[in-house]
Amino acid sequence: MAAVVLRELTKRFGKTSVIEGLDLEVRDKEFMVLVGPSGCGKSTALRMVAGLEEITGGTISIGDRVVNEVPPKDRDVAMVFQSYALYPHMTVRENLEFGLKIRKTPPAEIDRLVTEAAQILGIQELLLRKPKELSGGQRQRVALGRAIVRKPSVFLFDEPLSNLDAKLRVQMRAEIKKLQARLQVTSIYVTHDQVEAMTMGHRIAVLHAGTLQQVGTPLEVYERPANLFVAAFIGTPPMNFVEARVAGAGETLQAGSFALPVPARLRAALRGRDGARVVVGIRPENAVPAGRAPRGPCHRIDTTVEIAEPLGDEVVVHARAGEDALVFKQDPHRPAAIGSTLAVDLELDALHFFDAETQRRLGEDPPSGASP
Ligand SMILES: Nc1ncnc2c1ncn2[C@@H]1O[C@H](COP(=O)(O)OP(=O)(O)OP(=O)(O)O)[C@@H](O)[C@H]1O
Ligand SMILES: [Mg+2]
């Protein structure tokens, strides 16, 4: 049993606050991804769990003990870094053995653990090489091996794939996911890459400026972003945002160039708030060019195509509806000529609404499966 629980975790460097009252529960055997833009405090949070960074306030528990005062080597965690941090003068085998020797593991046991890890990672052939004789992907595999042989209760990953090229990153992403599923070790994985977060995590925790924004499964966070920051951060191409004002006694949202009926689920939240500013969030896949089949009730608007980016299986179209910019996806075999007019259906049930002042998500969505 090795859940990791952070309570009111706080970190200041001098007067600068880097982590603000972070509450997070990582369940036993869970793969939790901590995601956020550069500088938001991800590495600092992870290093505090590892014991490499002192904490200013709060508690960290691993399993059933509070580890605030426990030195890093006794926390039973293994960390994998972006920089691999291999010893250059040692062979792969020696790198794998090193941590075990320090812990005075019996030689026969070391042999067994190293052989097992090398086999899991497919690096048996590389055991006699030095790190400089390895590719980036092979080095990262060795770094993973060094964490695996320790059989820790918790894996901590700090952007372990950032030094790899795009293709290898996708491959290693899948390998780490498989590895975690196989070893069933509680893991916290830090990344600034929202695609990595979405594809790898059982749950993801979105961090912004040292403050936790939302925790949930990738799908929960994608479908119900808690605020404008999360909505903009998760998803590619990113969600479109259109400013609107409440009108018609809370029944209409008036954007620059079009008006939308307020969906039933939002009526209570917007009643009597005529004039209030609302941000309408439209995922590119929920703005469906006429001719493709939209889902559910729609509101049709006319757009003018500004840019079309062919990706092979689809075309990403940047268009304009009056003042409002809109990005959506078009069938590659349908024309989206620059300057042409394209009617687009906005899927009303899939739109997101945010209070422009508080930036928070508005209204309660119907529980999934229920009719609106
Ligand atoms: N030793 C330190 N002294 C002062 N400020 C620090 C120190 N270490 C980190 N910081 C600051 O704390 C903030 C968070 O840093 P951290 O390294 O945790 O960010 P991050 O989310 O991991 O970013 P990245 O994605 O770039 O790795 C940054 O603003 C950074 O400048
Ligand atoms: Mg970092």
Nearest bound ligand to the CA of residue 45: 1
pLDDT in tens, 168-197: 889 889 989 999 999 999 999 999 999 999
The residue nearest atom 26 of ligand 1, judged by CA position, is 38
Among candidates 33, 19, 23, which has minimal Cα distance to 208? 19
Residue 277 token pair: 């500013």
The residue nearest atom 31 of ligand 1, judged by CA position, is 39
Query: Do 201 and 218 contact (CB within 8 A), yes or no?
Result: yes
The residue nearest atom 12 of ligand 1, judged by CA position, is 18
Q: What does the pLDDT read at residue 201?
A: 96
Among candidates 73, 86, 157, which has minimal Cα distance to 123? 86
pLDDT in tens, 218-274: 999 999 999 999 999 999 999 999 999 999 988 999 998 899 998 888 888 888 899
What distance in Å separates the CA atoms of residue 44 and residue 36, rounded to the nearest whole number?
A: 12
Nearest bound ligand to the CA of residue 38: 1
What distance in Å separates the CA atoms of residue 328 and residue 316, rounded to the nearest whole number?
A: 6
Q: Which residues contact 74 (CB under 8 A, 6 or more apart)?
A: none
Residue 46 CA to ligand 1 centre (angstroms):
11
pLDDT in tens, 121-170: 888 999 999 999 998 888 988 999 999 998 899 999 999 988 888 888 89
Q: What does the pLDDT read at residue 230?
A: 97
What distance in Å separates the CA atoms of residue 74 and residue 80, rounded to the nearest whole number?
A: 17
Does 73 score more than 80 pLDDT? yes
Residue 44 CA to ligand 1 centre (angstroms):
6
Burial 227-249 (b: 16+ CB within 10 A, else e): bbbbbebbbeeebbbbebbbbee
H or E, element range at 155: strand 154-158
**What's the whole-number mean pLDDT along residues 338-356?**
94
Residue 320 CA to ligand 1 centre (angstroms):
38
Radius of gyration of the chain (CA): 25
**What's the whole-number mean pLDDT along residues 304-317?**
94
Does 81 score more than 90 pLDDT? no
Q: Which residues contact 276 (CB under 8 A, 6 or more apart)?
A: 245, 246, 270, 355, 356
Strands 31-35 and 4-13: what pairing?
A: unpaired
pLDDT category of residue 5 using cuts at 50, 70 and 90 = very high
Residue 38 CA to ligand 2 centre (angstroms):
7
What residue type is assigned to position 57 of the chain?
G
The residue nearest atom 2 of ligand 1, judged by CA position, is 13
Among candidates 54, 103, 99, which has minimal Cα distance to 78? 99
Does 367 score more than 80 pLDDT? no
Residue 182 token pair: 């196989």
Q: What's this model's pTM, rounded to 2 decimal places?
A: 0.92
Vertex 144: Cα angle to 142 and 145 (nearest 5): 60
Residue 222 token pair: 């994608």
pLDDT category of residue 334 using cuts at 50, 70 and 90 = confident
Does 368 score more than 80 pLDDT? no
Q: What does the pLDDT read at residue 97?
A: 94
Ligand 1 nearest-atom number relative to CA 53: 1
Mutate to test the pocket of ligand 1, among 11, 33, 35, 40 (most ligand atoms within 8 A of CB): 40
Does 1 score more than 80 pLDDT? no
Strands 287-289 and 324-330: what pairing?
A: unpaired
Residue 256 token pair: 């620059």
pLDDT in tens, 33-69: 999 999 999 999 999 999 999 999 999 999 999 999 9
Q: What does the pLDDT read at residue 371?
A: 40
| Between residues 154 and 294, the one the model is more confident about | 154
Please, is 158 exposed, middle or buried when counting C-beta atoms within 10 Å of its C-beta (0-12, 13-18, 19+)? Answer: buried
The domain defined by 4-233 folds into Rossmann fold (3.40.50)
Q: What does the pLDDT read at residue 370?
A: 41
pLDDT category of residue 198 using cuts at 50, 70 and 90 = very high
Residue 261 has φ and ψ, to the nearest 5°, of -70, 140
The whole-chain average pLDDT of the chain stands at: 92
- Half-sphere exposure in the Cβ direction for 36 (13 Å, CA): 22
Q: What residue segments make up the domains of the chain, in order of their start?
A: 4-233, 240-355
The domain defined by 240-355 folds into OB fold (Dihydrolipoamide Acetyltransferase, E2P) (2.40.50)
Q: What does the pLDDT read at residue 369?
A: 41
Vertex 212: Cα angle to 9 and 85 (nearest 5): 70
Q: What does the pLDDT read at residue 163?
A: 82
**What's the whole-number mean pLDDT along residues 359-365?**
83
Helix axes 136-149 and 92-102, enclosed angle (nearest 10): 20
Query: What is the longest distance spanned by two Cα atoms in the chain?
Result: 78
The residue nearest atom 5 of ligand 1, judged by CA position, is 13
Does 330 score more than 80 pLDDT? yes
pLDDT category of residue 96 using cuts at 50, 70 and 90 = very high
Residue 235 CA to ligand 1 centre (angstroms):
24
**Pocket lined around ligand 1, Cβ cut-off 6 Å:** 13, 16, 18, 36, 38-44, 192
Strands 31-35 and 203-208: what pairing?
A: parallel
Residue 168 CA to ligand 2 centre (angstroms):
20
Residue 15 CA to ligand 1 centre (angstroms):
14
The residue nearest atom 25 of ligand 1, judged by CA position, is 38
Residue 14 CA to ligand 1 centre (angstroms):
13
Helix axes 166-183 and 136-149, enclosed angle (nearest 10): 20
Nearest bound ligand to the CA of residue 42: 1
**What's the whole-number mean pLDDT along residues 348-372?**
76
Residue whose tokens read 């529960």:
25
Ligand 1 nearest-atom number relative to CA 44: 18
Positive or negative CA dihedral for 134, 139, 141, 142? positive
Q: What does the pLDDT read at residue 365?
A: 54
Q: What does the pLDDT read at residue 207?
A: 97
Nearest bound ligand to the CA of residue 53: 1
Does 335 score more than 90 pLDDT? no
Residue 47 CA to ligand 2 centre (angstroms):
10
| Between residues 125 and 367, the one the model is more confident about | 125
Nearest bound ligand to the CA of residue 207: 1
Q: What does the pLDDT read at residue 121?
A: 85
Compute CA distances 37 → 136, 211, 215, 224, 288, whole Å: 24, 12, 16, 20, 30
